[in-house]
Amino acid sequence: MIPPEWQAFLPSPGPLQPGKKWHVFLSYRSVNRGWVLNLYDVLTQLGFKVFLDQYVLLGGDSLIQVLQNGLTSSQAGVLIWSNAAKDSVWVANEYETLLNLSINNPPFRFVPIKIERAPLPAFANNKLFLDFTDYPDGPGGGELLRLVSALVGVPLGDKAVHFAWEQDEASGVAAAQISAAVRNGYSDRLVELFEKGGLPWRTTAILGCKAAEGLTALGCNDKAIAILQRLQTEFPGAIRPKQLVALALARRGGPGDLEMAQNILGELYASNHLDPETVGLYGRTWMDRYKLSQIPSDLRQSRNLYAEGFEKAPDDYYTGVNAASKSLLLGEPDKAAAYAKRVESIVGNTAVRGDYWWTATIAEVLLLQGKYAEAGDMYQQAIDMAPTQTASHGSTYKQARLLLSKFGATTAEQLLVLQPFKGLPDYITGS
């Protein structure tokens, strides 16, 4: 439910115009999927009908045709600009399409937003971008109010402008407090922040999801699940809490947890929520199932889901690198090499400051190429970025061990790769 403090300032999306199916069309790069999913959740909570390609595409659909139909049947368009988007021909073309729609069809509202401090290209300098660079996890604060007002075409009054600035400050403080608690490894602090709450926490599920995701990374899955279950009650239409509770269940790994996680993700999958996050997490649970069953079809199901996610979003390194690794485990080295090469073109070979998973993915690509020393060095850089996130380290370590076993690596070669994980309780080499 939208807090009453916001209701005084948030304009309603209103009824759809004749011939229109969607209030807003979202254009983005798949690598920004987490941010876009949070945007989708927020806008749908506010009553907008939102076109998000991964939730609309069906098997056998023409991507270009579906996107064209989505654009022409939308009343507004949002383009999400980031470092990943700056070199995308696809995003550049969609920018031009959205801009032309707004020029030739004045009722159509085009709102470009930037979520990282990426320089804008020359062709985008003639349009004012809303700036969400201080909201790396999803739209919040006063900028959210500015976005909704822009989509509806209602200018902010003086009181709304003042309220927006207050929310910017409060949301920024809350996000910084969460980040500090995760980096310092203080799980009780994350729970305390959630319990204390405040208006930014009650406006969207984003801050709660950020805290829960931090708890999962710290290995505190029970605490994460408790927060996420409350978020599902408070924000029943949000997809992100459902995804994260499935992840926490899978990581907890208690009796019945895997089945519950698969039930959640299977339902999202059957409901056509086919974004890379849902498909990738679903693939992860099938891998967990394979580790218990050792049935090859479970492993193949895992690989096929990761491959499906990667084909739907070919710039999503998470699904791509897992499609590569599972292909290798299936005894399909040519497919593994092809996927790994595609992922390498996305992530490059230089560690990304502050991004554990991006850097760990570079390490895994190096490992898939048999570059053991380079992989070990990159894993060390990833761990140094997030020293308290031992649950994430453990997940990465287990994947590396599986691949080394498939390669038949010697004890010395394993040590080159696994040495950075030596502090983990289940650390072992040479087996």
pLDDT, tens digit (0-9, with 9 covering 90-100), for 86-145:
656 767 777 888 888 888 888 899 998 888 776 766 666 666 788 888 887 788 888 889
Q: Which H, E and C letters describe 139-201, residue by residue?
A: CCHHHHHHHHHHHHCCCCCHHHHHHHHHHHHHHHHHHHHHHHHHHHCCHHHHHHHHHHCCHHH
Over residues 315-331, the pLDDT tens digits come to 889 999 999 999 999 99
Tell the burial category of 183 from Cβ atoms under 10 Å away from its Cβ (0-12, 13-18, 19+): middle
Mean pLDDT for all residues in the chain: 89
d(CA 411, CA 431): 8
Give the C-alpha separation, 410 to 430, whole Å.
7
Q: Which pLDDT band holds residue 358 (cuts at 50, 70, 90)?
A: very high
CA dist 243 and 209 (Å) reads: 10
The reported pLDDT for the residue numbered 65 is 60
Residue 183, both tokens: 């980096």
Average pLDDT over residues 175-182: 95
Sequence-distant (≥ 6) Cβ neighbours of residue 121 within 8 angstroms:
86, 92
The SS3 of residue 50 is strand
Residue 352, token pair as written in the block: 């990304």
Convert the pLDDT of each residue in 128-151 to its tens digit: 788 888 887 788 888 889 999 999
pLDDT in tens, 277-313: 899 999 999 999 999 999 999 999 999 999 999 987 7
What is the Cα–Cα distance from 99 to 77, expressed in whole angstroms? 9
Percent helix, percent strand, percent coil in the chain, to nearest 5: 65, 5, 30
Closest CA to 70 of 121, 28, 42, 32: 28
pLDDT for 242-283, tens place per residue? 999 999 999 999 999 999 999 999 999 998 787 888 999 999
